[in-house]
Amino acid sequence: MPSTATMPHTAPEHPVNVAILGAGRIAQKMATTLNLMAQDPTYRAYARPYAIASRDKTRAEEFAEQYGIPVAYGSYAQMLDDPHVDLVYIATPHSLHAEQAIACMEAGKHVLVEKAFTVNAEQARRVIDTSRRTGTLCAEAIWTRYMPSRALIRGLVEDGTIGDVCAISANLSYPTTHKQRIVDPKLAGGALLDVGVYPLNFIDMAIGPADTGTDGDTTATAGNDAAHGRRIARLETAMTPYTTGVDAQSTTTLFYDDGVMAVSTCSLLAVSDRDGAIWGTDGYLMCRNVNNVERIDVYGKDHALIRSIPVPKQLTGYEYEVAACASAIASGSIECPDMPHADTLRMMRLLDQIRDRWGLRYPCE
């Protein structure tokens, strides 16, 4: 089924007040996004920057001054006590996501949680159970799931432009070993949870969701692709460890029960082309940059370029997930249709299976 990412969202009666939890690099990008949304005629009805929360009061105040954010908290508890906070964007290391998301929802705040959503599927279930119990929205902030490029790619796959899909390849790699959170096992570091989630999600979005059981048997879920009945029949994976014990780079091959094969590669050591390729019986698609698709090139059997499809202009790319959350809150929903809870849980189970094959467990587990 095509993504709802290109469908118009219903704006809330009043823009939601967004608080950012964490003051790192990704929090800075969200602050920039919220400011641009507040100035944009299309997006200003959805959200506005309201607060920044950090464990360091000085850092929070400096962040607030730099990005023109009205309120700065020197503790997370202060943010939880503020009745004016509607939505909390959680931009801290993976190891903190579950406890922080639960605390926010227990305090009546909706949450948008950065990827990877949690460390493992067990934590993800607890977070989502809290969302259901409290009636608060909980969404995973994997921005590619909300982008218009998703529906464009899926449409090309479904309309037979390249014939029957036979195989997919996707990769994402950046040299990031200089960042402590990336290489620290205590913070659930490693390439898989940081960048590996993108090629795996690209594959999942391109051909439709599929699930696999923890013991190698296939298990259907509500999120499975009804049109194809596709399931993952087998998974093969291998990784190279970093000196700290986290995964430095890896490759994972998914074998589907209908014969489709997909390969996902990620690394925190190398620079890669970041391409996603979808190969069919009549041609293939080259999606430039699976982390934020810039254009889609369509090729025929003779490898000649048939057409190049640009994606819509964006503010930063984060605006889609924020608008989706604001719309869901306005409608009283506890999940976003672009990344429902079932999809988050399914992808977390896949990440668990991959790490289980490697024998990689984090101290917090």
The rounded distance, in Å, linking the Cα atoms of 209 and 231 is 8
The rounded distance, in Å, linking the Cα atoms of 293 and 6 is 14
- Distances 345 to 191, 341, 354 between C-alpha atoms, Å: 20, 6, 14
Contacts of 270 (CB under 8 A, 6+ apart): 173, 175, 249
Contacts of 158 (CB under 8 A, 6+ apart): 2
Token code pair at residue 225? 């692709």
Contacts of 118 (CB under 8 A, 6+ apart): 94, 97, 98, 101, 124, 127, 348
115 is an active site residue:
yes
The rounded distance, in Å, linking the Cα atoms of 199 and 203 is 6
CA-based angle 38:114:128, to the nearest 5?
Answer: 110
The rounded distance, in Å, linking the Cα atoms of 191 and 177 is 10
The rounded distance, in Å, linking the Cα atoms of 142 and 136 is 19
Catalytic site residue from 29, 57, 109, 115: 115
Burial class (CB in 10 A: 0-12, 13-18, 19+), 47: buried
Token code pair at residue 164? 């029957």
Exposed e or buried b for every residue in 61-92, given b needs 16+ CB within 10 A?
Answer: bebbeebebebbbbebeebbebeebbbbbbbb
Contacts of 323 (CB under 8 A, 6+ apart): 9, 37, 43, 46, 47
Backbone dihedral angles phi then psi of residue 66, each to the nearest 5 degrees: -65, -35
The residues annotated as belonging to the active site are: 115
